[in-house]
Amino acid sequence: MNRIVVTGAAGFIGSNIVKGLNARGIDNIIAVDDLTQGEKFRNLADLKMADYVDATDFYDMFTRGAFGEVEAVFHEGACSDTMESNGKFMLFNNYTLSCQLFEACSTSGTRLLYASSAATYGGSDTFREETAFERPLNVYGYSKLLFDQRMRRECGVNFEQLAAARGAQVVGFRYFNVYGAREQHKGRMASVAFHQFNQFALDGKVKLFGDYGGYAAGSQMRDFVFIDDVVAVNLWFLDHPEISGIFNLGTGQAQPFNDVADAVVNTLRRNKNEPALTHQALVTDGLIEYVNFPENLRGKYQCYTQADLSALRRAGCNHVFADVQGGVSKYVDCLLSQP
């Protein structure tokens, strides 16, 4: 396979995609990122690649054709902080640079597989890849939606029209709540499972939000998707260059935050040869604790997300996703194995 570019390569999803490519024997990879946050180097240290390029330089260089023939770009680079309020900064990083990359890919006939987000749905209660259900609650969600809208205008609502016209694939992945290895640098934006693991290590208990939005304590529901599944679906589309479009990438099954906490704590107990406890027992024993819902998140918080996988299945991708119990348990074991 010809050269592949991964933007955001030192980030959470990007580094796992590089790892997935390496597992296939592919290392002719240009890794692109901004290592101002130097600790992100750890996500690259065990990976194989042809070169590293700073994100500040990459987009203009790619437009000039500086990297020769490139088969595909996995565009994971973005500002993913949903609490970022600087709209100018957000739109430049998530929209303007993405548009520049798309134009360059169009000129060179390079395939583009890019990260969108379930944040595009925001306050909706239906999570299907249609404009009627796209109601972002923050500028991050809007920045991702704006690029999706640009792709619809450029490609037609049916991206297959573009693939046929330019001979190159364009795929947008609306990631739901992704968790897994190599997210340690994300700080407050790391997954619920990661924070709960560290809370338990510090305090001997996990804290969850109390009742909010019509949901009982810890019963707000999200579509939690394991990073290994995210990588598998990305690589499935790499294997199917004839398929283009915007696709949800979640499990298709919402689960409550209580399930994540139960899986984290019981996996930690298993590693200490302690028996698993029911959710109620975990609460009664003080291993799970509820706190008041934060005022600053009111009106900006999705209490329920569940990916509609109809489009993904129609495309022929029948990947089987891990549930919270299986994925989180595997993730906690991974965290425990690290220094």
Positions annotated as catalytic residues are: 140, 186
Backbone φ, ψ for residue 227 (5° rounding)? -55, -35
Q: Is 222 helix (H, G, I), strand (E, B) or coil?
A: strand
Alpha carbons 299 and 304: distance in angstroms, whole number:
13
Q: How many CB atoms lie within 10 A of CB 130?
A: 13
Alpha carbons 221 and 229: distance in angstroms, whole number:
19
Q: How many CB atoms lie within 10 A of CB 107?
A: 11
Alpha carbons 92 and 224: distance in angstroms, whole number:
28
Backbone φ, ψ for residue 243 (5° rounding)? -110, 125
Extract the tokens encoding 50. Answer: 């042809």
In 3D space, the residue among 211, 192, 177 whose CA is nearest the CA of residue 262 turns out to be 192
CB 111 within 8 A of CB 168: yes
Q: Treating both helix axes as pointing N-terminal to C-terminal, what angle do 324-337 and 227-238 enclose, rounded to 10 degrees?
A: 100
Alpha carbons 296 and 188: distance in angstroms, whole number:
14
β pairing state of 245-249 and 206-209: unpaired
